[in-house]
Structure 1
Amino acid sequence: MAGNVGTPGATVAGRVMAILDAFDDQHPRLPLSELARRAGLPLPTAHRLAGELVRHGALARARGDYAIGRRLWEIGLLAPVPSTLREAASPFLNDIHAATRATVHLAVRDGEQVLYLERLAGRASVPVVSTVGSTLPLHATGVGKVLLAHAPADIRRRVLAALTRVTPYTVTQPGRLRAQLAQIRLTGYATTVEEMSLGACSVAVPVRREDQVVAAIGVVVPTLRRDRARLTAALQVAAQGIARHLGA
């Protein structure tokens, strides 16, 4: 997990990384004093470096606080794996969106979080908190549960040891979530019911490259009572198509 960097590097690059590492999903915006504390830097140093990062677009000012800037996300898109995934997934995500008019997601695991690489907006009446480039808890989202189910055992242990409640319906009992993850590996899909946002349900499936799960795709809808099987089938067909493109 990011933040609380005890001994930042002596180099300028080390201090810059300490500032960027101060942000995480629990601290998306930080006042200067807290930014300096979490980065382990003197206040004047943090102020000077944060100002430089703002000028270059790596940080942004948000109501007096600092936040991660758009430029970092744009640079991140140049990384080979996310870029290839987005290109391979794009036509299939558009097909699902056109057929369902639901919010469609493409996501990967980023440490102990789920990182959203793509989002096609669906019905405005369904509350969706994700944005492209944002991270959310693995255990509270459909795509996140898929990725957690297929994550290394040490990642699963750490996530299961620190389950946070986002809504009254978020699964925070380790034993119950562990059983869900086993079921996801068995059935090939994950669902959530108002676990990340009230009024929003999701279903998601893994995207594989050879024998590895490299991403997850999912949809967010008001209810899964009638359409779960149809949505799951559509996602699985899309995931197979994405996998073929990645293999090619």
Structure 2
Amino acid sequence: MTTASPAPASMIDRIVTILDSFDGPHGFTLAQVVARTGLPRSSAHRILEHLVKVGWLRRDQLHYHLGLRILELGTLACYQHQLRGAASPHLYELAHSTGMTVHLAVLDGPEIVYLDKLGGRSSLRVPSRIGGRAPATCTGVGKVLLAYAEEAGLEAVLGRPLPRPTPASIGTERRLRAELAHVRDRGIAFDREESAWGLGCVAAPIGPPGSPEAALSVCGPIARVNLEHLVGPVRASAQAVWASVGAGRTAPPSSLHGAPAPRQPIGA
């Protein structure tokens, strides 16, 4: 039984306190949640009902239970940990052999989320971070994932103005569709100063043919790197990562992409 502590002041703290109170296999009534959290009854009821509405909780008559969205996020967190763990040695080898920055990313709507980043020896700063986001249309990993996305997913990207961090960024639907068709033909994507000046990237999909679940990229100073020479190593590393994931997979995450992550647009 959880002992209630002084009621937290901020809304986020209150939500976390309520979710943390669900520490057993059974549901709880409003009165029990109030007793376990120390929150005012009206505040607890309002938050509980909103969490039900967004799927974090479900209500069965008088009792509240953890919802499917919590299960989905927990499964995704386990998968992403598995993916990152399987990819880690291959990312390290690629970063070491090329001396460049290596990224592992997944697609979340119009953005990509970086699951991992290993820095290279280049003095050029690559503006990215683990857990950060970037516009998918401006990055190699984003384009290689958009190339195989369903039309509905692509329409969500095209339903808003395309971000243009640099003049080289893709700015029209026609050019984007042509670029994605080229990516599908080669199974590889490039970022030629589209996310940041001076930066070039090569990206390859990770996953079964035509249905990638993630992507990796190598990034470095475009003036000193022949991106075409990196196609082979990047593709080989992506295939090696997928082989490692398949060998250790415990649960497919195909419907779980899109977990919230800190929204801080970045380039890479």
Q: TM-score, normalised by structure 2?
A: 0.62
Instruction: State the aligned residue count.
Output: 181
Q: Which residue of 1 aligns with 2:65?
A: none
Distance 2:74 2:166 in 1: 30
The one-letter amino acid paired with 2:174 is: G
Q: Which residue of 2 aligns with 1:87?
A: 85
The one-letter amino acid paired with 1:182 is: A
Q: Which residue of 1 aligns with 2:237?
A: 238
Alignment of 1:195-234 (within 5 A): 195-209=194-208, 212-223=211-222, 227-234=226-233
8 Å CA contact retained: 1:149, 1:182: yes
Distance 2:89 2:125 in 1: 24
Alignment of 1:52-63 (within 5 A): none
Report the identity percentage: 39
Cα deviation digits, residues 11-34 of structure 1 (max 9, x gap): x78x849xxxxxxxxxxxxxxxxx
Distance 1:109 1:117 in 2: 10
Q: Mark the CA change 1:100 to 1:247 in structure 2 (over 3 Å): closer, same or farther.
A: same
Alignment of 1:1-248 (within 5 A): 16=15, 79-162=77-160, 163-209=162-208, 212-223=211-222, 227-248=226-247
Q: Mark the CA change 1:91 to 1:147 in structure 2 (over 3 Å): closer, same or farther.
A: same
Q: Which residue of 1 aligns with 2:52?
A: none
The secondary structure found in structure 2 opposite 1:132 is coil
Larger radius of gyration: 2
- Note the residue ranges of structure 1 that are not aligned, 5 or more in a row: 1-11, 18-44, 50-74
8 Å CA contact retained: 2:110, 2:135: yes
Q: Mark the CA change 1:154 to 1:16 in structure 2 (over 3 Å): closer, same or farther.
A: farther
Distance 2:79 2:92 in 1: 20
Distance 2:147 2:229 in 1: 22
The one-letter amino acid paired with 1:177 is: L
Output the aligned Cα RMSD: 2.6
8 Å CA contact retained: 1:210, 1:247: no
Distance 1:125 1:212 in 2: 35
The one-letter amino acid paired with 2:176 is: L
The secondary structure found in structure 1 opposite 2:203 is strand
Q: Mark the CA change 1:146 to 1:211 in structure 2 (over 3 Å): closer, same or farther.
A: closer
8 Å CA contact retained: 1:191, 1:204: yes
- Note the residue ranges of structure 2 that are not aligned, 5 or more in a row: 1-10, 17-42, 48-72, 248-268
8 Å CA contact retained: 2:109, 2:156: no
The one-letter amino acid paired with 2:188 is: Y
Distance 1:220 1:164 in 2: 20
Shift of 1:79: 1.1
Distance 1:127 1:194 in 2: 13
Q: Return the structure number with greater relative CO, CA threshold 8 A, min gap 6.
A: 2
